Structure formats: C-alpha cells, structure tokens
Structure 1
Amino acid sequence: MLRKLSGSLRRRLALILLPILLALLLASAAVQYLLAVRPMQREFDRAMNDVAVALAEHFVVDDTGDTGFQLSDEAAALLDADALDYNWYAAFNERFERIAGESGLQWPGNVVKRGEPYYFDAQVNERPVRAVAILKACGALDCGVVLAATLRKRGRLIRDMQLSALVPVALVGSVAFALVWFGLGSGLRPLVRLSREIERRSPRELSPVKLRDAPDEVQPLVTAVNRLMQQLGEANQAQQAFLATAAHQLRTPLAGLQSRIELAQLETRDPESRARLGEIHESAVRSARLAVQLLSLARAEPGASSTDAHVPTDLAKLAGELVNEWVPRAIEGGIDLGFELGAAPLNGSPLLLREAMANLLHNALEYVPRGGCVTLRTGADAMQVWLEVEDDGPGIPPEQRSRVLERFARLPGSPGGGSGLGLAIVREIVEGHQGRLILGAGADERGLRVRIEIGQVNTAAL
C-alpha cells in the first residue's frame, strides 16, 4: 500500500513538472521555427519579385498606344528550368485583360500599387501557388504582370526546418524527462525504503521504524509512524490484558452457572420450576455464547494475538473437525446437515478459520426450521480456496445483506436468540486473510449461501 502511495506521489510530481517542461520545449521549438521560416518566405518572395520585374521589361507599346508582350525564348526557358516547382506568368494590358501567359492566372484587382509588389496565394490548375503581381507604366496607362510558382521548394524547406527544430526538442525532452523521472525516484527513495520496511512487517510487529540516512523532509513522517506504533503497542497490550481477564472472568463462571442450572433441573420435580430453570439456562447459554463471540471478535482483529499466526492448513480438514460437534446439534433440531469437503489448502490461522466455520454453521442451524437442509462445502481452484455454507431457510433480502455484516446487526423479526455478531466475526476473519465474503441466495433462490474466497493457495499441499 505504501509503495503504491510513493509511486503515486512520484507520478503526481512528474505530471506537474513534465507538462511544464514539455510546454517550454515546444514553445522554444515554435519560436525557433518561426524565426527561421519567416525570413525564408521573404527570400522566396523577393526572388519571385525579381523575376516578375524582369518579365515586366518585356511589355511593348506600339505607335497606336496598344500594349503588347514579347517574351524571348531565353526568358521562357528560364521559367521552365526549375526542377522542383512549376512557374506560370500572365501579362495584362492597360485594361487588365490577359494578353499573354497562363489563362488560369487572374489580376488581383485594385489592391496592387505601382512600384510595390503584391503577394497573394492562389490556385492554378487546382494546384496551390504563391503569386506576386507588379504594376508598371505602359505609356500613359498602367499594365501588369503576375508570376506564380508551386510550393514544393517551400514545403521541403519548411519540413526540413520543422525537423531541425523538433529533433533537438525530442532529444532534449527525452533526456530531460528521464532526468526528471529518475531524479524524482531518487528523491523519493527514502519513502520507498520506509514503505518496504513497513510492508514487510506482520500486523503484530510494532517496534519503531529505523530509516537510516533519511532526509529532513522524511524525518517527521518516521517520527509520526513510530509514535503511532507506540500507541498501537500500548493499545494492543491493554487489549491482551482484557482478553486474558475476560476469558477467565466470563467463560469460567458462565460454564459453572450452566452446570449448576442443569444439575438443578435434574434434581427438581416441580414442572413450573423446571420450566423457569430452563429459561434461566437458555439465558446463560446465550450469555456464554455472547462472551465467546466477543472474545472471538477481539481475537479476529489484526494483531490481537500472537497465537493466530498463519500456518499451512486445509479448510477441509478444519471442517471435518467440526462434524462431531455440529451433527448432533443438527439432528437434535431436525435439520439435515451435510459436508461436501474438497481439498482447500492455504496459509491461515486454523483457530480463526475454525471459528468462522462454527459461526456460519451456528447461524444456519439457528434460523433454518425443522426439516431444512444445511450444507458446508470446501474446495480450491488455481486462483483461490473457498468455503460455502448453504441453507434453505428464510434467507436475507438483498438490500439487507451488507447491513447484517455489521456488529450487533439483526434483521427485524428474526427468530432465535442471536446477538448479531456471527457474520461480523466471519467478516473480520476473512478480511484478516485478505479474502472475500459473499452473501447470496441458495439453490433455486431459496435460503442463504455464504461464500468465503481466499486467494492464498498453499500449492505445496495440493
């Protein structure tokens, strides 16, 4: 758990730092790209303007004032000499009617001023082009020329500039990301060591945590953890003292009280007295059962007793040990109690697991009417071992199944004299074994099926 938290802190810090670093690198690349692309575009435009000015020198005005355009073969060859881009031109007379060149080029309008090149984007033969228009005096009036070129050289140079801008960003970014990630890992290593040290401990080990060479920022955490360990140790000692005292002060007198009541029942001959003694005996049995359940609940809590260490065991074997105790009770209550026991090896506390089974059987026999059936099953698969106690009694409504797992919770109108601790004890025991407790309906949606799943298979015992 703590290791996950430290990893999460590392990711959280990385998610804060790395986007900022990435944004700075991308901004740097964008600035570098813009600073390089704009001068390049201006140089291309200036070169086009030089060619357009040279083309404008080929206008001629005859004696009648009509404007013509005569392009020499050498000049035309120069326009076609570009190996990458296509070049088109169009010449326009004083009425801005095309008199020579590409029919797909149009005069851009009144936006062109004499002596100032006008650059614009257009399309020629469905190809995007960059164009320049210049206006020139042709006699008393103005004429103009438009030169357009495709964008292959520009696109290639832009891609080269993009690559030259992004490659350093990628390299620097990768190195920076790695340095940030491993730097965060190095800075958080004391927390990782602390988490591993605590993770290796059993719930009963409450000695102070020792973390050597811890930075100042981690020392308060270590101090707080050690203070908590001390408080837990003191609470555990007080609880153990209570358990020892309660076991002696409650169970022994109650067992003696039951024996005396049973002896009194045998000696008295008065039916009324025997009935009252029977009621007292039933109350004593319930009190003894409550005392045992309270002790079981305390024992099931983490770190409650060093005698509950997890050892290799088998649910089927533990269930078999309960047969002689619970079958006579079932026969006395007129209930068919069956055992379907498959091997279910695991590492667990035999005492607590046996207590869980006993509580489930007690609940089933308590609430199933005469003539009913109760079945205890055990088994295992590749992932987990499991235990089921199924009955055909009144069951528990789905909306109440989570509530009955709470301590001292009983359904309204429930028969019997239970205290509401049975399933709470089972839940504590299952959680102590990192398992799951599932409540569902029995066969044909009748009764109750309580299933325990524990994912700690002792493969050596299979």
Structure 2
Amino acid sequence: MLSRLSGSLRRRLALILLPSLLILLLVSALAQYLLAVRPIQRELDRALSDVAIALADRIGVNESGDVTFELSDEAAALLDADALDYNWFAAFNERFKPIAGEPNIPWPAVKLTRGEPYFFDSVVNDRPVRAVAVMTACGVLDCGVVMAATVRKRGRLIRAAQLSALLPVALAGCVAFGLVWFGLGSGLRPLVRLSRELERRSPRELSSIRVADAPDEVQPLVEAVNRLMQQLSEASFAQQKFLATAAHQLRTPLAGLQSRIELAQLETRDPDSRIRLGEIHESAVRSARLAVQLLSLARAEPGASTGDARVVLDLAKLATELVDEWVPRAIANRIDLGFELAAAPVEGSPLLLREMMVNLLHNALEYTPSGGRVTLRTGLYEGGGFFAVEDNGPGIAPELREKVLERFMRLPGTRGTGSGLGLAIVAEIAEGHQARFELLDAPGGQGLLARVSFVSCAGT
C-alpha cells in the first residue's frame, strides 16, 4: 500500500491539479477565439454582401429583352481601391453566364433565393477567395451577381484575434501554473517543518510535538506521531527500569558473596581450595562489574532519567577523584598509571562522566600487560574540553574499532575478564552529551588512545 503512495506529494497534487487547469485554460482560449473570430467573419461578410447587393441593382433588361449591366468607371475604381485584397465581381444573365466583370468567377451550384446572399469559398485566378452570390430579378427571369475578395485581410484579422485570445491565456496559464506550484509548496510547508522537527531530534528526545502549531489537516498526523513518541517513551522507561532494578538487586548479593569468598580464602589452608576460591571470587567480581555496567547502561540510554542534573564541572577535578581508587589497582598489576590533568570545563552529568572515565581506565588496565603504561589526560582540544586514556597495550585494529562499540562485543582471543559493555557505555554517554568518542592509535605507535571531545567549553 505504501509503495503505491510513495513519491513526492507535491508532484502528485500537481499532476492532479495542473492538467485540469490546462484543460480549463484551453477551453477558455477556444471560447475567446470563437467569440472574437465570428464577429470579424460576420462583419467582413456583411461588407462583401453590401457591395454585391449594390452591384445587383445595376443589372437590368433592355428593350430587346437582353440582360444588361451598367457600372461607372468611378464605381469600378472603388472596387479596386483595397490595398490588401483583390476584389472581383461578375454579373450573370438569366442563364447564369457572366456578362460583365471577371469571367473566371463561378456561379454557385446551389438553388438560391432572390435577395438572400449566399456565401461560399472558392478560387479565382489561382487565389483563394471568399465570395457572395446575390440573385435578383431580370424581368420575369432570374439573374445575379457574385462578389469575391481574396482572404489576406481576413486572415490577418483572424490571426490578430487568435493572438489577442491566446496570448493573455498563455500568460495567465504560466502565472496560474507558478501560483499552483508555489501554493502547493506553501501548503505542504507544515509537513516539511514536521519532518525537519523529527529529523533534528535525537533518540533521547521523545517529547510531544505542539499540535496547535500544525494546520487542521496535519493535526491527525501530529497526534499519531505524539502517540508513537509516548509509546516509545514508556517502552524505554520500562526497559531502563528493569535494567536498573535487576542491576541494583544483583549488586547487594554479589557484594555479600565476594565478602564470604574472601573470608573463606583467609580461613582455608588447602592450596587447591584457595585456587578454586580465587576462581570463584574472580567470577563474582566479574558479575558485580557486569551489574554495575548494566546499571550505567540503563542511565546512559535515550530517555533515561538519572536524577543527576547537568552541571558545569571540571574534568580534571573529576579525574583527580579517581586517583586513590585506581592507582592501587594499577600498582597491583605492575602498570604505571599517570595523570596529566589540565583544566577542562564542560557541562554534563558528574555520575555519567565519571562512569566514562572508569570504563576507559578499566579497559586500559585490563588489557595492558604488566610493565605497561596508562595515562589519563584532560584539557582543551579544538575549542572544547576533553579527556583521554592512552595505553601502550595491544591496541585495536582500525577496521575493528567501530565493531567494539557494539554491546557485549569482545574481540576473539583478547585477554582479560571484560563483558564487552565498557566501550558501548562510553559511546552511549558521549552521544548523550553531544561529545565525540574516538579510538585512535597511541602517539607512540603502540597501544590505543581513547578520547572523548566535547563541543565547547562550559560557559563559552
């Protein structure tokens, strides 16, 4: 169904309206033409018949009973005074044989009535003519006169009438077509605005569109879109609520499980039991980490409401708060963890921005081998604040860097206990803050540089 309705709505409406308008204009032009041409034809025919009737009065019968025709030289000169057309006449006797005038003018082969002009088209001396025949009485018999004139003047007047009829219609048609096309574009502009409004929105913006701003015909569409937005918002909220609740409910028992395993490790003296308890403890830590990441993912998803308002903060100060927690972990893994911090004011959620740093640090420490180096930097980059985590570990091949941003994606053969959510969470949070998240080669040529760049500094 939708495939049959695809294409430009403006073009579809134009294909419906413009042919009808074209037909209307053609009918109007034809009507104007007929109304202009017929009076011209009648007037020219009337003038021709007046001359023919006047000539018919010149026919008479002499004492011998022969038909005669008398025309003065002055009258004959008047017949030839037309500058555009040739005028001919012929007088016919009772046998309708020419007795005066142009002998090549034919008498019409139809029955005529005395005194009633009969108009017809013919050819005289290889020239098309308009002719009129008038039959008159010659005593008790009938005779007549035919007056003929070439059609040059008549054609010129008709062409002028055509031009006067068609030119205004053509101009009106062009203007009407332009107005229809412009009117269709203007009438469809609310739909264009609606499409741009929906296009500029991010997946996080599911608020309703103002129905009052739309025309009456578009309001049902806007209301349908608003209902869809509401359903998406409710579905997103339900999903986030489930993830947050599940992650929260898992964290407490997992923390208790870790404590009990650690206590059991301290109390047992069997080396094999210690190894098995260590493996169980590692699984419990990984599960607890996964629960924390799921909770972070729920906060970072479009439409999430974390209760953590956006504020102006310094990324350098936020990174300083991680030193006490992450330096001991780096030392335990024999990794040199450095902090190169410069002021980087941004606007965002402290909780989510901290989660971004934690995930990048965790990934770097997880995959960098012992004896390696990890550095967290903050500062200004291209007019905005940034933070980056650089390591000299194995890095990620350029063709796989888009792939690792997918949820639960871990590259085959990688070491560590990650769940494949860390980089996906960073990408989600960066998108929610209109920041750019990049995975690049480390400046030294070995390792990975993960950088999050914000559009502009806070307060600028």
TM normalised by structure 1 equals 0.58
* TM-fit CA distance, 1:291: 1.1
Cα distance change of structure 1 residues 421 and 238 upon mapping to structure 2, 3 Å threshold: same
Cα distance change of structure 1 residues 320 and 281 upon mapping to structure 2, 3 Å threshold: same
CA distance, structure 1, for counterparts of residue 367 and residue 204 of structure 2: 35
* TM-fit CA distance, 1:276: 1.1
Say whether the 8 Å CA contact 2:261–2:277 is kept in structure 1.
yes
Q: Is 1:307 the equivalent of 2:277?
A: no
* TM-fit CA distance, 1:452: 1.2
Q: Is 1:274 the equivalent of 2:274?
A: yes
* TM-fit CA distance, 1:247: 3.6
Q: Secondary structure at the match of 2:388?
A: strand
Q: Write the letter of the residue equivalent to 1:255.
A: A
CA distance, structure 2, for counterparts of residue 251 and residue 438 of structure 1: 31
Q: Is 1:238 the equivalent of 2:238?
A: yes
**Rg larger for:** 2
CA distance, structure 2, for counterparts of residue 178 and residue 334 of structure 1: 77
Cα distance change of structure 1 residues 297 and 333 upon mapping to structure 2, 3 Å threshold: same
Say whether the 8 Å CA contact 1:204–1:302 is kept in structure 2.
yes
* TM-fit CA distance, 1:362: 0.3
Q: Is 1:188 the equivalent of 2:227?
A: no
C-alpha distance after superposition, 1:356-377 (max 9, x if no partner): 1100000000011111111111
- Structure 2 equivalent of residue 352 of structure 1: 352
Q: Secondary structure at the match of 1:419?
A: coil
* TM-fit CA distance, 1:234: 2.2
* TM-fit CA distance, 1:308: 3.9
CA distance, structure 2, for counterparts of residue 240 and residue 17 of structure 1: 44
Say whether the 8 Å CA contact 2:395–2:447 is kept in structure 1.
yes
C-alpha distance after superposition, 1:141-185 (max 9, x if no partner): xxxxxxxxxxxxxxxxxxxxxxxx9xx99xx98999799658734
- Structure 2 equivalent of residue 265 of structure 1: 265
CA distance, structure 1, for counterparts of residue 203 and residue 397 of structure 2: 38
Cα distance change of structure 1 residues 202 and 372 upon mapping to structure 2, 3 Å threshold: closer
Q: Is 1:340 the equivalent of 2:346?
A: no
Report 1:411-430 matches (<5 A): 411-430=411-430
Say whether the 8 Å CA contact 1:334–1:370 is kept in structure 2.
yes
Q: Secondary structure at the match of 2:265?
A: helix
Say whether the 8 Å CA contact 1:389–1:449 is kept in structure 2.
yes
- Structure 2 equivalent of residue 445 of structure 1: 445
C-alpha distance after superposition, 1:97-139 (max 9, x if no partner): xxxxxxxxxxxxxxxxxxxxxxxxxxxxxxxxxxxxxxxxxxx
CA distance, structure 1, for counterparts of residue 199 and residue 438 of structure 2: 30
CA distance, structure 1, for counterparts of residue 204 and residue 213 of structure 2: 26
Identity %: 62
Cα distance change of structure 1 residues 391 and 17 upon mapping to structure 2, 3 Å threshold: same
CA distance, structure 2, for counterparts of residue 306 and residue 190 of structure 1: 34
Report 1:30-429 matches (<5 A): 184-185=185-186, 187-189=188-190, 192=193, 203=204, 206=207, 208-212=208-212, 214-381=214-381, 383-429=383-429
Q: Write the letter of the residue equivalent to 2:358.
A: A
* TM-fit CA distance, 1:240: 4.4
Cα distance change of structure 1 residues 200 and 372 upon mapping to structure 2, 3 Å threshold: closer
- Segments of structure 2 that go 5 or more residues without pairing to the other structure are 1-7, 22-166
* TM-fit CA distance, 1:328: 0.9
C-alpha distance after superposition, 1:343-400 (max 9, x if no partner): 1112111111110110000000001111111111111246322221110001111221
C-alpha distance after superposition, 1:394-421 (max 9, x if no partner): 1111221111111111111101111111
CA distance, structure 2, for counterparts of residue 449 and residue 221 of structure 1: 47
Cα distance change of structure 1 residues 370 and 235 upon mapping to structure 2, 3 Å threshold: same
CA distance, structure 2, for counterparts of residue 447 and residue 382 of structure 1: 23
Q: Write the letter of the residue equivalent to 1:363.
A: N
* TM-fit CA distance, 1:14: 8.2
Cα distance change of structure 1 residues 395 and 241 upon mapping to structure 2, 3 Å threshold: closer
Q: Secondary structure at the match of 1:355?
A: helix
Cα distance change of structure 1 residues 202 and 279 upon mapping to structure 2, 3 Å threshold: closer
Q: Write the letter of the residue equivalent to 1:444.
A: G
Cα distance change of structure 1 residues 382 and 174 upon mapping to structure 2, 3 Å threshold: farther
C-alpha distance after superposition, 1:180-220 (max 9, x if no partner): 658734652476379669979994664x5441263343123
Say whether the 8 Å CA contact 2:343–2:380 is kept in structure 1.
yes
CA distance, structure 1, for counterparts of residue 266 and residue 319 of structure 2: 34
CA distance, structure 2, for counterparts of residue 185 and residue 347 of structure 1: 40
- Structure 2 equivalent of residue 45 of structure 1: none
* TM-fit CA distance, 1:289: 0.7
CA distance, structure 1, for counterparts of residue 182 and residue 313 of structure 2: 45
Q: Write the letter of the residue equivalent to 1:452.
A: V
Cα distance change of structure 1 residues 428 and 176 upon mapping to structure 2, 3 Å threshold: same
CA distance, structure 2, for counterparts of residue 426 and residue 269 of structure 1: 42
- Segments of structure 1 that go 5 or more residues without pairing to the other structure are 1-11, 25-164
The number of residue pairs the alignment matches comes to: 316
CA distance, structure 1, for counterparts of residue 201 and residue 248 of structure 2: 35
Structure 1 runs, 4 residues or longer, greater than 4 Å off: 12-18, 172-183, 193-202
TM normalised by structure 2 equals 0.59
Say whether the 8 Å CA contact 2:10–2:184 is kept in structure 1.
no
In terms of mean alpha carbon deviation, does 180-189 or 374-383 score higher? 180-189
Cα distance change of structure 1 residues 15 and 459 upon mapping to structure 2, 3 Å threshold: farther
